[in-house]
Amino acid sequence: MPSRYHINEEQIAELEKARQNNKDKKVDKRLKAILLHAEGNKRTEIAEKTEFTKTYISKLVSKYCSKGLAAIVESKYGGNHRNMSFSEEEEFLKPFLEAAEAGHFVEVSEIKRAYEEKLGRSFENHNGQIYYVLHRHGWRKVKPRSKHPNKASNEEIESSKKLTQLSGKSN
């Protein structure tokens, strides 16, 4: 491992362009640290400006010089690293969506059972798993508006409104 990685003008231009096109604050901070290194700043100065540790700055610069910009810009987290891809989940939910559009009631327990069968394992300890899948695909819980069992009839409500209006006018 070299004591000092050298970053040429072409790489500096690449870093600046990546920084302009970037929208992630964390990635921007990493790019800034590498650019400060390219300008000749010492690790302690970079650490003060970016709030990174000196060791992390060394690792960042080393990673950039050996693996390129993609190693700095790309996030190792993200995407659908779940049991099925998004399109597979979409395909799985299609029959349930068609049934719902046809006017049938679709229960989550039914979808969960089919999901477990398709994957070949149980999700007893992961109660929210099927709800995450449904949420990703824009499903939501639809239920009828609740009604109180002792609610007055519409006629009683209308007559009460009339009485209230009449009493307000007599003042």
pLDDT at 36 over 50: yes
- Give the whole-angstrom CA distance, residue 26 versus residue 29: 5
DSSP letter assigned to residue 146? P
Q: What percent of the chain has pLDDT over 90?
A: 46
Averaged pLDDT, 13-23: 92
Residue 14's closest CA among 82, 66, 71, 69?
Answer: 69
**Is residue 32 within 8 Å of residue 1, measured between CB atoms?**
no
The residue with tokens 């006018």 is 169
Domains of the chain by residue range: 9-73, 86-136
C-alpha distances out from residue 19 to 27, 52, 67, 129, Å: 8, 18, 18, 37
State which fold the 9-73 domain adopts.
Answer: Arc Repressor Mutant, subunit A (1.10.10)
Listed in sequence order, the residues at least 6 apart from 113 whose beta carbon sits closer than 8 Å to its beta carbon are: none
Alpha helix (H) residue ranges in 102-153: 108-119, 129-136
pLDDT at 75 over 90: no
pLDDT at 35 over 50: yes
- Give the whole-angstrom CA distance, residue 5 versus residue 13: 17
pLDDT at 33 over 70: yes
Going by pLDDT thresholds of 50, 70 and 90, the confidence category of residue 158 is confident
